[in-house]
Amino acid sequence: MVVKVLTGNHAAAYGAKLAKVNFISAYPITPQTSIIEKLAEFVDSGDLNAKFVRVESEHSAMAAVIGAAAVGARAFTATSAQGLFYMYEMIWWAAGARLPIVMGVVTRAIAPPWSIWTDHADFLALRDSGWILLFARDAQEVLDTVIQAYRIAEDEEVMLPVAVGWDAFIASHTAESVDIPSQEVIDEYLPAKKEFAHMLDVEHPFSLGNLAFPDNYMEFRWLIDKSMNAAREVILKADKEYGNIVGRSYGGLVEEYKCADADVVVFMMGAASGDGMDAVDELRDEGYNVGLCRIRAVRPFPIEEVRKISQRVKAGVVIDRDVSFGFGGILAGEIKAALYNTDKKPPIFNIIAGLGGRDIDVRIVKQAVINAYRFIEECKEPKELEWMGLRQEVLIL
């Protein structure tokens, strides 16, 4: 075990190296570039025995890792925003072909206007694709989750690709001290890549991805859904065993902070959860019984966890670093959907904040919680959906 000061991106590279990835293909895009630069260094120096294919576009990056995974390589790629959207059709292909690829997504806002700063729109655009979606808060979790991702993806009950997301700059480029487990410890946790039934093999020829008429297509989607639901247990187990073998775990699908006796719980995802937890501490000092639930897995969605927490609280606040225009925050929409068929449904107040890298600071979280309390105590209805942190002076109207 070694402790280094690493950015989130470099931590991802160390994670992929410890996972003994043997095929990497990626196309540069800010703020992902330092991941692949670090991996290129590892491959060049011989530290990592892998093929590194410097493709000419993100679409080709995903195509290349699909090809590599189909013949049994352990493949890795990474991208952001525009790059993710360029490779979008291939992303769906990877899940449909049931290939255990891991992709790092450094979440970045979508153009126009150009923005290289964090926003969750790109990551959440993956939610119907069949990919398992895990979101890390800081550099340490990035390293650990990339390794866990291979364990989850390659599980026979799962066989689905996994995307690990983390915030542009706040997580990707902020250096923190990161514990790098030894190769021996990770070898104990993550077994060597096994062969799988639909791996291309000249000794047993078959076609992968033929045409399926209406009487055959639907079952393949059902099979993905089945594996996605089975993945809940696998993710929990992978995280727990990581805790046992390596010494760190994150709570599986969600990370709960002071939720046990909370009247109001704030749901957040990503690096801003750290500010959220600071806000929780300050509010507690001020007498509010508040907690924070960090969404770690977006797919499979933590339906049970969200229901359990919601049974106990008087209100929920969801801070979305994303928006689905004409509908509301995506995470809020999913949380509300998860609660719909339960009898105890606390009101959910949705905040849109932090788009395009704007800070979600402690004040925003605190204000949102205080508004929720106002509803509980004075029945003064806070708005169901509120955009916080908008700068009216910027809008030329």
Min CB(70)–another protein separation in Å: 6
For residue 177, what are the β-bridge partners?
A: 5
Question: Can you say whether residue 357 is alpha, beta or left, with left for phi > 0 and alpha for psi between -120 and 50 degrees?
Answer: left
d(CA 265, CA 243): 26
Torsion (CA) 20, 22, 27, 31 in degrees, nearest 10 = 0
State how far the Cα of 118 lies from the Cα of 172, in Å rounded to an integer: 10
Least CB distance to another protein at residue 216 (A) = 5
What's phi and psi for 103, nearest 5 deg? -130, 135
Separation in Å, CA 246 to CA 175, 181, 185, 286: 21, 7, 7, 37
The Cα 153–Cα 159 span in angstroms is 5
Which of 69/81 has CB closer to another protein?
69
Supply the minimum distance, in Å, between the C-beta of residue 190 and another protein.
17
CB of 111 to another protein, least distance (A): 20
Q: Which is nearer to another protein, 62 or 259 (CB)?
A: 62
Binding site for another protein (CB under 8 A): 22-23, 25, 49-51, 53-57, 59-73, 75, 89-90, 93, 96-98, 159, 197-198, 200-202, 204-213, 216, 220, 223, 227
Q: Please say whether the beta carbons of 173 and 8 come within 8 A.
A: yes
How far apart are CB 211 and another protein at their closest, in Å?
Answer: 5
Our CB check for another protein shows the closer of 112 and 214 to be: 214
- Nearer of residues 94 and 368 to another protein, judged by Cβ: 94
Enumerate residues 6+ apart whose C-beta is below 8 A from 128: none
Rounded least distance, CB 234 to another protein, Å: 15
Strand-pairing partners, residue 324, are 328
* Beta carbon nearer to another protein, 54 or 344: 54
Between 59 and 345, CB nearer to another protein: 59
Give the strand pairing for 132-135 and 297-299: antiparallel
**Shortest Cβ distance from residue 55 to another protein (Å)?**
6
* Min separation Cβ 77 and another protein, Å: 10
SS3 for 332-361 is HHHHHHHHCCCCCCCCEEEEECCHHHCCCC
* Nearest CB to another protein, comparing residues 5 and 212: 212
- Count the neighbouring beta carbons within 10 Å of the beta carbon of residue 146: 30
In terms of CB distance, is 224 or 292 closer to another protein?
224
Secondary structure (3-state) at 165: strand
